[in-house]
Structure 1
């Protein structure tokens, strides 16, 4: 799984993020760069204690989905639609949003300092820090590719 962004290497991650330009057009999808960063902030907040995730509990395919998403080299497909885009932006500009994303990731690291902490993923169930770093890495990679920041 070496071809995914390592979210624990914040210096490299930050350099990738600051390569985004506010006016950049996505290679697919409808998001603008700041919407994408704010989407990542929202998703990280569900894994750092700021927001509480919901889960209906396991079903027959939970373990299979989790394994395929976390423990394989499978990428998140292009044009996958999970949620509506927010009509308004939360942060005044892209730079501020990127800096907030970095803060949320630091909070994510601290949140998992407690032994045996797991956080629910809506489709995959409880996940530990290691699994979340993989998933976030795949998610960040997906969106950085969306804007041509990485190949």
Structure 2
């Protein structure tokens, strides 16, 4: 993630407000912020999914290619209660922004955790997923 992308993500997160409603999906804005933070916890291995290898990665890629929502790894579903619980909205936004900043500074040889669908990924692939995931959910709330 380059500096411009980083700054754009941080600005878009700042634009989120509690009264925003999703354009699609079931999460509210508070849940979405925590869900996005959980993505970075997953990448670093501080939050693990409840199952690995149960979803075909090619199916996920196909869904993404056609703009469809991909299934959430077990243990990360906000609506189902598996994700990190929202606390105070501005604090949760700051946590997300800190995770994004930290992620953007990781070295090219950083040893990421195993992704529950895609397995072992390098820096480039984790970064691509992070950008895709953040864009998807920020668009979900119109920012």
Shorter-chain TM range is 0.7 to 0.9
* TM-score (norm: length of structure 1): 0.70
Q: Gaps (5+ residues) in structure 1? A: 1-5
What residue number does 1:91 align with? Answer: 87
Structure number, greater radius of gyration? 1
Residue 7 of structure 1 deviates from its aligned partner by 7.3
- The alignment covers a number of residue pairs equal to 135
> What root-mean-square deviation, in Å, do the aligned CA atoms of Structure 1 and Structure 2 show?
3.2
Normalization by structure 2: what TM-score?
A: 0.74
Q: Which runs of 4+ in 1 moved over 6 A?
A: none
**1:42 aligns with one of 17, 38, 44:** 38
CA-to-aligned-CA distance 1:5-63 (integer Å, 9 cap, x gap): x576322111111111111111111211111010011121011242345664599x55x
Structure 2 portions without partners, runs of 5+: none
Check whether the contact 1:118–1:128 (CA below 8 A) recurs between aligned residues: yes
From the two aligned structures, give the one with the greater helix fraction. 2
* CA distance, structure 1, for counterparts of residue 25 and residue 49 of structure 2: 25
